[in-house]
């Protein structure tokens, strides 16, 4: 998983978590609380992946100059 994929998925799950939280507060249903907890835990895992993946470094290449 690359950094950009993890960040995009984190944003998606963060939106899902916020929507589930709002639904849970408005309707007082248990399923919304479960969806909130699942979304929050997936968001935390994806944020962890995004922060721990190293950015690709350029590979040094030796170039010979022509005379």
Ranges of each domain in the chain: 3-52
- For position 9, what pLDDT does the model report? 80
- For position 48, what pLDDT does the model report? 85
- For position 11, what pLDDT does the model report? 83
- For position 30, what pLDDT does the model report? 78
- For position 67, what pLDDT does the model report? 67
Angstrom distances, CA of residue 67 to CA of 31, 61, 62, 63, 64: 73, 19, 16, 13, 10
Per-residue pLDDT tens digits for 4-53 = 787 788 888 788 778 877 877 787 777 777 877 887 788 788 788 777 87
């Amino acid at each position: 998983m690359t950094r950009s994929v993890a960040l995009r998925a984190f944003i998606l799950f963060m939106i899902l978590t916020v929507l589930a939280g709002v639904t849970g507060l408005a309707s007082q249903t248990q399923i919304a609380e479960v969806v909130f907890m699942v979304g929050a835990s997936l968001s935390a895992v994806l944020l962890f992946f995004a922060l721990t993946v190293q950015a690709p470094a350029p590979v040094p290449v030796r170039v010979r100059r022509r005379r």
